[in-house]
Amino acid sequence: MKFGATAFLTSVSVSLLASGVSAVFSDEAYVVDWAKNPIGYLNSQNTVVARGSSNSEAIIGTFTESSVLASINGTDGTTLWRRWLDESDSSSQTHAVSSKYLAKVNNGLNELFVSASSDGRVIAWDPITGLAEWDISLEETVSAINGVAASANANTDQVFVALKSGFLLKLDALSGSRTWSSDLEIDSAPLAVIDLSDKVGVITSSGYLINVDKSDGSVHSRRKFGSATSVFSRSLDEVLSVHPVQGSSDTIVVVRSGSNAAIRVVDSNGNTASEESVVLASQSVKSTVEVTATSEVVNLLDSNIIIKFTVKGHTITRAEADINTSVNAVSENHPFPILSFPSGNTLAQTELGNLQLIDPLLEVVWSRQDGLTEITSAVFVDFLSDDSSLSEEELLFEEHADVLSAFSRRLARHWVDLKYFISHVKFPSASASNAEDDKTAEVPLTSHTKTESHDNLFGFHKLLVVANKYNHVFALDTTNQGAIVWSVTLPVPQGSEIVDLAVNSDTIYAVISTGEIFTVDVEGNVQPSSSILLPSDSVITEVVHTQNAIYAISNESVYTVVSSDSANDSPATESNDSTDEAVKSTYHTKVSDDGTTLDGYAVNFGIAEPQKTFQYTPGPNYRIVATAKRSPEDLTASIGKVLGDRSVLYKYLHRNAIAVAALNEETNTLVVTLLDSVTGRVLHTKVHKDEVSNKSPINLVFGEHWIVYSFYSKLPIEGQKIAVWDLYESEIPNQRHSQDDEKYSSFDSFAPPHVKSQSYIFNDDIITSLSVSRTRYGVTSRDIILTLSNGKVATLPKILLDARRPIGRNPTKEEQEEGLATYNSVIFLPPMNVLSHSRHLLGVNHIVSEPATLESTSLIAGFGPVDLFFTRITPSRPFDMLTVSFEKPKLIYTIMTILTVTIIVRRYALKKRIDQQWGVGEL
C-alpha cells in the first residue's frame, strides 16, 4: 500500500516536471519524426517461400545477416512482421551476428517458418501473423536445420536439426516434440542437412556425407563426400547452398573450403553425379540457385562479382563471360539473385541493399530499401542551400564593387532565384506519402524537396549521413521523412571497415581502419583524401572530434585527419613551459584490450612515438565497461547555477575530466571514477557494492558539469538504477576556486570537484544507451536521451535527476523556483517523454545529437544494427518559435484592425488639432 502511494506521488511529480519539457507537439508526431525499418541483407540459405491465404499468394520468409527474422508479402513487398532474434551480450553495445538457420515445413495444416539459432532455440512461426506455433530450447549449439518430407510420399514434413555435438534430431512439425535423436559419432561439426528420399544426408566440416534413415535415425552409410582431389574431400568451412533439382531426386550442393568453392550434383543415394570447382578471390562469398525452364543456374558472389554455373541434368557448365568485367559486378542496376519463383519472378538484392522482385521480362515489380542496417556511425551535415541568401563570395563582391555593378549582380541573382520561387509555389512540399511510395528513389538536392522554407531558416533541414559495416554511406533528408538523397560505396581495401564519420565545414571524412581517408561532399562525390601510414600491426580504432579538428587514434599513436590549427585544437592540449619554446602535445586515453587498465598517452606534434603518461587500474579483477568525456562541441552558457535565493553554485567545468566505470564480476561491485585525462589524477570515486549484474548494460554519459550512469543491481532493491553526480567547485554558494582570467593546466594543483550525488530506480525496460541533447549556444536545459530494450527512444529532463532534490520534505519556495521537487526513489517514464511514440524500434542503441539554428531545438538520430530513427526535441519548450497550431490569421486580423483604427483615429485627431488652431468650434 505504501509503495502504491509512493508510485502515485512519483508519477505526479514526474508529470509536473515533464510538463515543462516538450519532446514534440502532438500535431507534429509522425510528421517531423520518422523511422527506417529495414530487414538487412538476405542470404539464400535462410530465405524460403510459403503459401499465403491463397495458393497464388507467396509469403517470403528470411533470416537476414542482421539477425532479423521477417515475413514479406511477395505481391507488393510490404513487411508483414519482423523479429530481432539477436544473441549479442546485452551488457555490451556491440552487435555480434550469430549463426542463424531458417527452414519451411508443412505440418499437415499449413506451412510454417522454422528458425533456429546457435544457442539452441528453435521456433515455428506462422508466416502471416508472426505468432509462434511452438518454441523449444535444445540447450545445445545448432549447426544446421532443414524441413523435409517425413517419408518419400508423405504430405507432411519433419524438422531435422543437426547439433554441433554430433547429434541429429527429428522434431515433429506440428508440436516441436522430439521424435528421435541419433548420435552420428563424428568428430567434426555438421554443416548441412539434405533430403535423400527415404533418408537424410548430413554433410560434416571434415568432408563426410552421413546417410540417416528418416524413420528411426539409424546410420546407413558414412563416406568421404569426394575424391582425393575434390574440394568436398577437404575440410569444409561452410555449405553455401542446398537446392533440390526440379523434376528430379537430385540435389545441388555448393560448399566453400578456404579460397575454393565447389558445386556438386548429388543423387538420392548420396552419390556424386558431377562436380565443378572455382578459385575464389575472397573468403566472403554467397551462393544462390535460380530455376529456369530447362536448368538451374548457380550464382556465386565473390568480391562483388557474380560467377555463374548452369546445371542441366548431371552436367555443370561454367558461363563463358569474363568474370572480371563490370557486366557481372553487382550494382544498383545489376542485383544479386536470392531465389526464384515458379512464376519466373526472381527476388534479388543490389549492392546497396535494394530488395527487388523482378519479372521474367526484367521489369521491377516492387522494390524496397533494406540496406540501412548495421549502422556504425552517423553525422549531421548542412543541406546544400539554394535559397536567396547571400553567399560569402557575393557579400565580399558587393562590399568592394561599385554601386552599379553590385546592383546589376543582385538583380541577376534574383532573376535566377525566381525559378526556385516558382518551384516552391508549384511544389510547396515533398510529402511523406510520396517518400514512402518510392522507398528506393533518391531525392535530388533541389528546393522543391524541402518541406517548408522555415526548416532551412531554423536549421531543421539537414542531411543525416550514416555509414554501415558494409562500407556503404547514405545521406537522408531529415525533413522529407528520411528520403535517401544519395548513397555510395567506398572503395575500401578488403577486410577493412569504416571506423567513423566526421564533419569539417561541408566535407564528410570517412576514416578507414587501415588508415585510408575518404572525403565525401554534400552531393555524394567521393574522393580519396589521404592515407595514414600505419605500422603493420596497427589499425585505427577511434576518431576524436573537436570544434576545428579531427584526429584518428590507433592502438599506438594519434594522427591528424584535418585541423585548422593542429597545435591548438587537440583532444586535450597542454604546454610544457619548461623549455624556451612551448611544445604542444595532444593527450588521449585508451582502454586496454583486456579492459583492465585505462592508459594515457601524450603525442608531441612532429614526434612519431607516443609517450605513456599514466596507467589507471581500477583494481584486481575489475574490467572497465564504460568511459565518457564531455563533448568538445558542448557549449556552456553560464558558469554557475543560480539558486532560488539568487546566490550561485559554480559549475565544475574541467575540460580534461573523464569518467570511468569498472565492474568486478567476482564480487559484482561497480566502481565509478572521475579522472584527469592528462595526468591520470583521481578526482572522485564511488563504489557500488550492490550486486551489480554483468548481464545488463552499464551506460555512462558526461554532460556539462554532471555525470549520469545506469546499471542493474539486486541491492538494496532489485532493479535498474540511474545515478547522477552533479559537479560543483564548492558546496558553498558564491564560492569558487577558479577565476575567469586565470588559465590553469592539468599539471597544476587544482581543487577537485564537490560532488553531489543521488540515485534512482528506473521503473521501465533495460536502458541500452545514454546520451545528452545538445543545442547551439548551450542556453537550453539538457535532456538525457535513453534507448530501451523494448524498442523505445525516450527522454528525461536533467532537472528530474538533479542531485539536490530535497529528501523527506517539501521543497522551499526558493527550491520551487529552481524547479526542484521532493526526492522520490522511483522514476516512471511518462508517455509524453517517449520520442518514438508507438513505434517498436529494433536494435537502436546509439544516439547522436545536433543543434538546430534555433537555440531551443536539438536534432536527435538513433541507430544501431537494425533500425534508424530521427526526431527533434525542445528540452525547454520552443521558446524561440511559434507553434504549428498558432492562429496566425487572428494575429494578422488583429494587427490590421488596430492599424485601421489607428489610421481613422489619426485622421480625426489631425482634424481636431487643425480645428483647434483655427478656432473652429470655439465660442
pLDDT in tens, 775-828: 998 999 999 999 999 999 999 999 999 999 999 999 999 999 998 999 999 999
Quick check: 163 pLDDT over 90?
yes
Q: What is the pLDDT of residue 655?
A: 87
Residue 784 DSSP code: E
Question: What mean pLDDT is predicted for residues 541-545?
Answer: 80
C-alpha 433/C-alpha 230 separation (Å) is 55
Question: Can you give the residue ranges of every domain in the chain?
Answer: 623-734+752-886, 888-922
For the cut 90, the answer to whether the pLDDT of residue 556 exceeds it is no
Tell me if the pTM is above 0.95: no
How far, in Å, CA of 831 to CA of 853, rounded? 28
Distance CA 870, CA 872 (A): 7
Return mean pLDDT, the chain: 83
Across 369-394, average pLDDT: 76
Say how far apart CA 834 and CA 21 lie, in whole Å: 12
Question: Pick from 294, 290, 302: which is nearest to 340 by CA?
Answer: 290
**pLDDT digits over 301-343, tens only?**
887 788 888 888 888 888 765 444 445 677 777 888 998 888 8
Task: Tell me if 202 sits within 8 A of 213, measured CB to CB.
Answer: no
Which distant-in-sequence residues (6+ apart) come within 8 Å of 553 by Cβ?
540, 541, 542, 543, 544, 559, 588, 590
Q: β-pairing, 754-762 with 826-827? A: parallel
- Greater confidence (657 vs 451) lies with 657
Confidence tier at 549 by pLDDT (50, 70, 90) = confident
pLDDT at 608: 56
Q: Is the Cα dihedral 442, 447, 448, 451 positive or negative?
A: positive
pLDDT at residue 359 greater than cutoff 80: yes
Q: Per residue in 737-765, pLDDT tens?
A: 877 666 778 888 888 999 999 999 999 99
* pLDDT for the residue 403: 80
pLDDT at 95 over 50: no
Q: Which of 89-98, 552-561, 722-731, 910-919 has the highest mean pLDDT?
A: 722-731
Residue indicated by cell numbers 554433410: 203
Q: Which three cell numbers stand for residue 565?
A: 590549427
pLDDT at position 152:
61
- End-to-end CA, the chain: 87
Inform me whether the pLDDT recorded for 923 exceeds 90.
no
* 199-256 per-position pLDDT tens digit: 899 988 888 889 999 989 999 888 887 666 676 667 788 888 888 887 778 888 888 8
What pLDDT, on a 0 to 100 scale, did the predictor assign at position 637? 87
DSSP one-letter code for 483:
-
